[in-house]
Structure 1
Amino acid sequence: MNDNNRVLPRSFTRVFADNKLSIGLLTPIEAYPNSPFPTLNDHQQLAKSAEDAGFASIWLRDVPFYDPNFGDAAQLLDPFVYAGYLSALTKEITLGTAGIVLPLRDPISVAKQAASVDMLTNGRFVLGLSTGDRPTEYPAFGVEFEQRAERYRDSIEMIQCLHTEHYPRMNSQFYGNLTGNLDLHPKPVHGRIPMMAVGRSRQPIEWLAQNMDAWIWSVDDERAIQEINASLKIAAEDKTPPKYGYATFFDLADNPDAPYQRFYNVVRIGRHALIERLLKHQELGVSHVALNLKPSQRSAQSVIDEMGTHVLPALKRG
């Protein structure tokens, strides 16, 4: 799946460039620290502001149900529906999913939805796929939680088959069989849609290295980053290893000189320390950082403005 001989589209390389770190935003693009539910007020304008500020990507989350144990309903809207809507509001920014809970969805539907968004965005879509982190959702879908790793691999094989072959043939372990008498349209604008693993997805490093174009996880420890990139390079063998990035809950301090602080899974930091930290991670081979503004004490617009004025230009210079 990770084809070393295929040139990846601009939708991918503007986010996962060689020797460069880019910044994206997870939806909802909103600060809602005291509630599990966002308001979605001004979400159209905030998406446009993110693009104008120079963010590389907007990532849409897949949360079918609200589970009180997790305390976050994400952007409420279905990610493929929302991506189609955002495709009409934006022009250049990469849109992606982070990530579709693949074992809970039919792979033919995912292939169709992803190719549709890819067409609507003129090829600026990245398909991020996960196994999810909410076990309570699995019984609702009638899916065995312990089969999620195998279903994930089976689904990805079918999606790739539908996207890249005409009248494909494939025998699926968990889903239907393709017998060569049907063809899925539209096909991806650039021949295939870049695929990204979100979380470990219960897969070994070797499988991720051989099958994914990128990998977004939550690990941002500097020593671990070095070990991850080294492992991916070895496991990829003669292929190009997937680009590594991480996602984090993010609170940009009002004080630009505020030091780096971590509160469980929330990074709180001023812009000077943030720039230093990101440039260091760029040196270590991190390609992308996806920021979740849920815990932010400041408005999303305020954070976007400061990032666009100071942080993103410093990364380009670095």
Structure 2
Amino acid sequence: MSKHNVDQMPALDRIRRPEGGLTLGIELPLDNDWAPERETQRVREGRPFGIPDLTHYPDLIRQVDRSGFAAVWMRDVPVFDPRNFGDAGSVYDPFVNLGFLAGITENVALGTAAVVLPLRHPMMVAKAAASVDRLSGGRLILGVASGDRPVEYPLLGLDYESRGEAFRDAVDYLRDAWKDGGLPVGNGRIEPDLDLLPKPLQAQIPMVIAGQGRQSPEWIAANMQGRFVYPNGAEKLTTQAREWRSLRKALGLPAGAFISAFHLDLADNPNEQVTPRRFGARTGRKAFIDHLHTLEDAGIDHLALLLRPSRRPLGEVIDELARDVLPVLKPQSSPVKAAAE
């Protein structure tokens, strides 16, 4: 069991700052197999493209946790489809992985980006998520999605085209299942003599949506506590963040969290200029810090860094980010202050 307790900050407050500013997280898997030298090594080892080398995964996770990052994020890719999707994702089942991470971390929020809700019965998702929240001391952020890989649905005998409706139904089920007073049994009915245990440690496990989930912007603003959008340029992210907050404000709701990602190849020369790549860049530390300040000004709350393109050893990259990048972002509130707010 984590040393954290209910008096410490809610999971969403680990990735956002009441006074504004940006926090950084790490997106799994923790490998750098997209670097040219590592690709050569992969071929030599006979590993298929897209399957990460997770040899040093536990040690790197512990390093991230003690280094001041706000969160770690994992994907939900049930089936490796090398022909249509050459990336195996985070590999491990997300809820098994979350349980493992709850046991070896103490500080980071544990986020999914994102669990494909229509592929799982919502009762089992509700129980697994509440279990993780308890075991981690209230650090779960449940990112959810409707899925974008058509091959997965027929394998489970599910209809791909109706995934939007199934997604909405699952969200409603989760919220009902986490309440006291009975078990949801369908069609809005509650069975009072049954219950689902455990209940989450957080008053409400925050849900953030990755993509659109085949939902309207208005539904997303009303039902999600955050948005996790694909990596984009600062201008588009600014527009998306502004629209998200405007919709939340119109509904009389708190701002929530606006999250994106960045594929980072951090050069060892801090003065190296930016070389763009899909969803990110190769860049030296100084230009990267400038970009982060731009995102702070744009109203982005949290940026998940994918380090797979890194040419340097990941431990070295994590150290530099912790030592020279995190301290120049706007300072984080103390856990006591954040929880009080």
Same fold (TM over 0.5): yes
Aligned to 2:12: 12
2:178 counterpart SS class: helix
2:290 counterpart SS class: helix
Aligned to 1:311: 325
- CA-to-partner distance for each residue in 1:259-310, whole Å, 9 max, x for gaps? 2232223422211111111111111110000111222222221210110111
Q: Tell me how far 1:234 sits from its aligned partner.
A: 2.7
2:329 counterpart SS class: helix
- CA-to-partner distance for each residue in 1:226-276, whole Å, 9 max, x for gaps? 222222233222111332110232211222112223222342221111111
Q: Tell me how far 1:17 sits from its aligned partner.
A: 2.2
Aligned to 1:48: 62
Aligned to 2:310: 296
1:219–1:43 CA distance, 2 compared to 1 (3 A): closer
Q: 1:255 aligns with which of 247, 250, 269?
A: 269
- CA-to-partner distance for each residue in 1:134-169, whole Å, 9 max, x for gaps? 221111121111111111111011001101242145
Aligned to 1:191: 203
Aligned to 1:148: 163
Partners of 1:47 and 1:172 lie apart in 2 by 41
Partners of 1:206 and 1:9 lie apart in 2 by 28
| Identical columns (%) | 36
Q: Tell me how far 1:93 sits from its aligned partner.
A: 1.3
Aligned to 1:129: 144
1:8–1:247 CA distance, 2 compared to 1 (3 A): farther
**Cα RMSD, aligned residues only:** 2.0
- Kept in 2: contact 1:214–1:243 (CA 8 A): yes
- CA-to-partner distance for each residue in 1:93-143, whole Å, 9 max, x for gaps? 111111101111111100000000111101111111112222211111211
1:113–1:62 CA distance, 2 compared to 1 (3 A): same
- CA-to-partner distance for each residue in 1:19-78, whole Å, 9 max, x for gaps? 121111111112111331112112111001001211111112111011112211123211
Partners of 1:70 and 1:189 lie apart in 2 by 36
Matched, 1:275 2:289: yes
Q: 2:182 aligns with which of 146, 167, 171?
A: 167
- Kept in 2: contact 1:122–1:189 (CA 8 A): yes
Partners of 2:278 and 2:111 lie apart in 1 by 26
Partners of 1:48 and 1:275 lie apart in 2 by 24
TM-score normalised by the chain length of structure 2:
0.85
Q: 2:191 aligns with which of 175, 179, 183?
A: 179
Matched, 1:23 2:24: yes
Matched, 1:100 2:115: yes
- Kept in 2: contact 1:107–1:159 (CA 8 A): yes
1:91–1:169 CA distance, 2 compared to 1 (3 A): closer
Q: 1:204 aligns with which of 212, 216, 223?
A: 216
Aligned to 2:239: 227
- Kept in 1: contact 2:11–2:141 (CA 8 A): yes
Q: Pick which of 236-245 and 183-192 moved more.
A: 236-245
- CA-to-partner distance for each residue in 1:74-97, whole Å, 9 max, x for gaps? 232111101111111111111111
- Kept in 2: contact 1:15–1:94 (CA 8 A): yes
Gaps of at least 5 residues in structure 2 are 1-6, 40-48, 333-341
1:268–1:223 CA distance, 2 compared to 1 (3 A): same
The AA in structure 2 aligned to 1:224 is K
Across the two proteins, how many residue pairs are aligned to each other? 309
Aligned to 1:138: 153
Partners of 1:141 and 1:248 lie apart in 2 by 32
- Kept in 1: contact 2:140–2:205 (CA 8 A): yes
Q: 1:218 aligns with which of 218, 227, 230?
A: 230
The AA in structure 1 aligned to 2:153 is Y
Aligned to 1:3: none
Q: Pick which of 81-90 and 67-76 moved more.
A: 67-76
- CA-to-partner distance for each residue in 1:177-235, whole Å, 9 max, x for gaps? 64333111111112221111112222221111111111111143222222222222332
2:193 counterpart SS class: coil
Which 4+ residue blocks in structure 1 deviate beyond 4 angstroms?
A: none
Partners of 2:74 and 2:308 lie apart in 1 by 14
Partners of 1:149 and 1:260 lie apart in 2 by 39
1:112–1:286 CA distance, 2 compared to 1 (3 A): same
1:275–1:185 CA distance, 2 compared to 1 (3 A): same
The AA in structure 1 aligned to 2:11 is S
Partners of 1:267 and 1:203 lie apart in 2 by 31
Aligned to 1:286: 300
Partners of 2:172 and 2:331 lie apart in 1 by 39
